[in-house]
Homo-oligomer: A and B are copies of this chain.
Amino acid sequence: MYIPTLDDMLAAHVRIKPYIHRTPVLTSSFLNELTGAELFFKCENFQKAGAFKVRGASNAVFGLPDGMLEKGVATHSSGNHALSLSYAAGRRGIPCTVVMPRTAPQAKKDAVIGYGGKIVECEPSTSSREEVFAQVVTETGAEFVHPYNDPRVIAGQGTCARELIEQVENLDAVMAPIGGGGMISGTCLTLSNLAPNVKIYAAEPEQADDAARSFKAGHIIADDAPVTVADGLKVPLKELTWHFVSNYVSDILTTSEQEIIDAMKLIWKRMKIVVEPSSAVPLAAILKNKETFAGKRIGVIITGGNVDLDLLPWLKTEK
């Protein structure tokens, strides 16, 4: 297992800079008053392809040696990684194949195709996905870029925390949502090297709390198909992300579905930005644990803004 280093992150940043945004950091005096903390929101919802995932995907794609370009890249994802890898491959002009469950939202499929990716559908089960994906790799010879358990991807995600500590001085902590752990691992990689006094917190839905239970147990616990509104956070930790989580994270805080939806709506209403449910989990966790964060300067990573505007969770729950 190769563990990415500070140099990998720094090289990633140079490599991907032409293809990503240096996203802004927003603040809200209302949310500061409400939480008693000073919050600095790193807005990856404004990122290319609408999510931080384009950092890691671009690093993998633009780091490919020339000899591997013709066969392109492949992945399995029904979410932001699928969009991001398609975007990055499109920018480099190489093929990208994405295995997606046939039940994935049409909007996500359209977005992948819009960026130039090719979709191969599988049944919505792990066994079908693995079977179809193996076949795709055999046929195309494409390079597999895992959504998070990949040193190139983690090094890419680490560039987000690097920008954040350049944009905001004297942070006490950084919080990001945790699913597979790619963003948190990149954050750990960067902060443990460049700002070791900044604490790292992860936030997770109670209904998909495998990372929190792993953290307490001291080994990876994976759940089969958890159900949560924060659809980016359903996947389990893997060995590489577990390395970072187990070594550098201070705590993993969990929140209920209603707390996530309320925090999401609060961000939309008061900050006037569109964020996806996963992005609201950290604010929900801060609101639930005010005493832990009062008086502190907290960087909050808004991971993405790809949400179905026809299916907003606070409207669904009210129906």
A309 touches B269 (CB 8 A): yes
Give CA–CA (A272, B26) in the complex, Å. 13
CA distance A160 to B268 in the complex (A): 23
How many residues on A have C-beta within 8 angstroms of the other chain's C-beta atoms?
20
In this assembly, does A24 line the interface, its C-beta being within 8 Å of a C-beta of chain B? yes
Does residue A50 face the partner (Cβ distance < 8 Å to B)? yes
Query: Which of A143-151, A288-296, A311-319 forms contacts with chain B?
Result: A311-319
**CB-contacts of A263-287 with B (<8 A):** 265, 268-269, 271-275
Quick check: is A310 within 8 A (CB to CB) of the other chain?
yes
Contacts of A269 in B (CB 8 A): 274, 309
Q: Which residues of B contact A310 (CB under 8 A)?
A: 314-315, 318
- List of B residues within 8 angstroms of A312 by Cβ: 309, 312
Given the complex of chains A and B, what is the CA–CA distance between A310 and B313 in angstroms?
Answer: 10
Complex contacts, A318 vs chain B, CB 8 Å = 310
Q: Taking the nearest CB of chain B, how far is it from the CB of A47, in angstroms?
A: 9
Residues 62-106 of A, flagged 1 when their CB comes within 8 A of B and 0 if not, give: 000000000000000000000000000000000000000000000
A158 adjacent to chain B (CB < 8 Å): no
Chain B min CB distance to A108 (Å):
13
State whether the Cβ of A35 lies closer than 8 Å to any Cβ in chain B: no
- Shortest beta-carbon distance, A307 to chain B, in Å? 9
A52 within 8 A of B: no
> Given A268-B309, A272-B305, 12 other A-B contacts at CB below 8 A?
A45-B272, A46-B271, A46-B272, A50-B272, A265-B309, A268-B274, A269-B309, A272-B275, A273-B274, A274-B274, A309-B312, A312-B312
